[in-house]
A and B are shown apart, each in its own frame.
Chain A
Amino acid sequence: MTRLTGARIARQLPALIGPFVVLALGWELAAGVILDPRFFPPPSVTLPLAAELYLDGDLLTHAAASVRRIVLATAIGASAGIAVGVVAGWSHRARLLVNPHLAVLYPLPKIALLPVMFALFGLTETVRVLTMALAVFLLVAINTTGGVRSISDVHVEAALDNGAGTLDLYREVILPGARPQIFSSISMGLSVGFALLVVIEMLAAESGLGYIIWNSWQLFTIPRMYVAVFSINVLGVFFVHGTEILGDVLTPWEGTYKQ
């Protein structure tokens, strides 16, 4: 399995790196001809700067702050979402109780809640993480509910007929049955989480890549801004696609993962 995963990543890598290479080459060629280098510094400027900022400056600290936030928010949001989704998917009564709340909260842009959250918890790291976690939670809870409900009755009957207890039912039927939806919703949650991360760091943080982007724009240190923009892009690709690949590896029965 590990070798197959490695082979799969090696096969996908060119597809993920390719766009960056094409963009960099085009940008370099167009710089000074049709692109104003004050606003669009070419890779020959930004790449050495990136090395400098990461090795000697404090960009690594900021990137680490962003990673910490997205990882915490996803971990909290996804575990709560899976727990609520499994219960709501399994029990009709729980679903009647929970669903209306999810349905109302889901379309609300979570960033609108940021001031409310600050009023509740103060200007803290908790608020930044929880606001993102809420977005992940809603996506994962709704999709997990759907995933559990899509499990066909005959599989539950088959498990019971073979002597499965309640715990076995969760471990052998409900969780694997909903696993494809759980992973795709975590991946979706991560991309929504990244959008929130940048906005929250721009508005209400003194650290993180979003903070660097906004701060650089205001100080007009445009090359530094691009270094942060591409950093968040690379992190996004890593986390969002990484979760998808992990999901495919952990659901080999789906057949998306051809050997």
Chain B
Amino acid sequence: MSDRPANRQMATMQDTRMESPRRSTDETAGSQSGSATGERSVRIRASDVEKSYTGQDGDVKALSGMDLEVYDSEFFCLLGPSGCGKSTFLRLISGLLEADAGEIDIRTESDGDRPTTSMVFQEKGIFPWKSVLDNVAFGLKMRGVGKQRRYEIAREYIQKVNLSEFENAYPHQLSGGMAQRVGIARAFANDPQVLLMDEPFGDLDAQTKRYLQEELLSLWSESKKTVVYVTHDIEEAIQLGDRLGVMGARPGHVKEIVDVDLDRPRTRENLDIARLEALQTRVWNVLSDEVQRTVERR
């Protein structure tokens, strides 16, 4: 494992090129991003994405005119009321769903067989019939990594989420917070180029949530992966994200991008409270009429 970070860095420095096997590839996207955003390179670019579902009363538009750019190595939070299509968008990035129109480009590095994306699911995303070890090693198994090697990698990440004592336990023996750490370890063990997270801590109590957020941030800062994190929780988004994409609903689209210019670590002592409150107010102003619309339609 000691050679991995070096490898990754080399790939990022020298061998980056557009390559997206599951999604469409835009050859010019790389150069465009250089001029459009200055220093920062774009990792994910979504342009004019549309997605509809066939419901009981005809088609329901989940996303329309969805434009978004996510930069390399940033922690991007997609924030919006429930039903605004943020989880749908995450599934479009992952390739689990296909867009009806528009394009999603992900800049990938030709680095062996690292997967482009890996998803951490809302809850119960880990397999109840597999032990912690086999859950974490699952993606590696699917990519044909030998048993000894994949268990070695899996154990490393199980240790990083502090579950070493539980590697042979089954999910029904774990608490909700522990189970979600297994999901996070599985995604990191895949060593994806982009990490997708679908409200991973939504069902946890406040203390556990806080603890796991810190654990996640330390894993992220160690790996410097690009993260797209979906949540409906304003405070969580500001706590975690470098930038926020605040979404509007029906159909879903990005209303506003907010830069979270707070220093890390965002601990209680370190936090600029006035700035935090200003950010919260700004996000809430964007969201409040959305929420009102959502509530009134029920």
Q: Which residues of A contact B (CB under 8 A)?
A: 152, 154-155, 157-165, 168, 172-173, 176-177, 179, 251-255
Please name all residues of chain A whose beta carbon is closer than 8 Å to the beta carbon of B139 when the two chains form the complex: 162-163
Rounded to whole angstroms, the CA-CA distance of A70 and B268 in the bound complex is: 70
Residues of A within 8 A of B130 (CB): 176, 253
Q: How far is the CA of A161 from the CA of B94 in the complex (A)?
A: 7
Q: B interface vs A, CB < 8 Å?
A: 91, 94, 96, 115, 117-119, 121-122, 124-130, 138-139, 142-143, 170-173, 186, 190
Take A158-B127, A251-B129 as given contacts and tell me if A164 and B122 are in contact as well, using a CB distance cutoff of 8 Å.
no
New contact pairs (17) apart from A158-B119, A159-B142, A162-B142, CB-CB < 8 Å: A154-B122, A154-B124, A154-B125, A155-B124, A155-B127, A158-B127, A161-B94, A162-B118, A162-B186, A163-B139, A163-B142, A172-B138, A176-B127, A251-B129, A252-B170, A253-B170, A255-B170
| Neighbouring A residues of B170 by C-beta, 8 Å | 252-253, 255
Identify the closest chain A residue to B94 (Cβ).
A161
Q: How far in angstroms is the closest Cβ of chain A from B101?
A: 23
CB atoms of A161 and B96 under 8 A apart = yes
Residues in B neighbouring A152, C-beta threshold 8 A: 124
Q: List 22 A-B contacts (CB under 8 A).
A: A154-B125, A157-B96, A157-B121, A158-B119, A158-B127, A159-B127, A159-B138, A161-B94, A161-B119, A162-B138, A163-B115, A163-B142, A168-B142, A172-B127, A172-B138, A172-B142, A176-B129, A251-B129, A252-B170, A253-B128, A253-B172, A255-B172
With beta carbons under 8 angstroms apart, the residue of A162, A172, A177, A255 that contacts B173 is: A255
Instruction: Please name all residues of chain A whose beta carbon is closer than 8 Å to the beta carbon of B96 when the two chains form the complex.
Output: 157, 160-161
Q: How far is the CB of B139 from chain A (nearest CB, A)?
A: 4
Main secondary structure of the interface of A (DSSP, over half): helix
State the Cβ distance, A207 to closest chain B Cβ, in Å. Answer: 42
Chain B minimum-CB-distance residue to A173: B127
Task: Look across to chain A and name the residue whose beta carbon is closest to the beta carbon of B186.
Answer: A162
Cα–Cα distance between A173 and B190 once the two chains are bound (Å): 19
- Residues in A neighbouring B127, C-beta threshold 8 A: 155, 158-159, 172-173, 176
Distance of A256 from chain B, by nearest CB (Å) = 11
Measured between alpha carbons, how far is A152 from B125 in the docked complex, in Å? Answer: 9
A176 CB contacts on chain B under 8 angstroms:
127, 129-130
What 3 A-B pairs come out closest when comparing CB atoms?
A: A162-B139, A176-B129, A163-B142
Contact of B143 among A161, A163, A173 (CB under 8 A): A163
Chain A: minimal CB distance from B186 (Å):
7
- Which residues of the other chain, A, contact B172 by a CB distance below 8 angstroms? 253-255
Rounded to whole angstroms, the CA-CA distance of A241 and B42 in the bound complex is 61
Closest chain B residue to A255, Cβ basis:
B172
Q: Which residues of the partner chain B approach A163 to less than 8 Å between Cβ atoms?
A: 115, 139, 142-143
A226 to chain B, nearest CB (A): 44
Using CB atoms, name the residue of chain B closest to A155. Answer: B127
B129, A177: Cβ atoms closer than 8 Å:
yes
Minimal beta-carbon separation of B184 from chain A (angstroms): 13
Q: How far is the CA of A35 from the CA of B117 in the complex (A)?
A: 76
**Known A-B contacts A179-B129, A253-B171, A255-B173; A158 and B142 likewise in contact (beta carbons under 8 Å):** no
Assembly CA distance A254 to B170 (angstroms): 9
**CB neighbours of B94 from chain A (8 A):** 161
Assembled-state Cα–Cα distance A158/B122 (Å): 11
Within the assembled complex, what's the spacing in Å between the Cα atoms of A224 and B121?
63
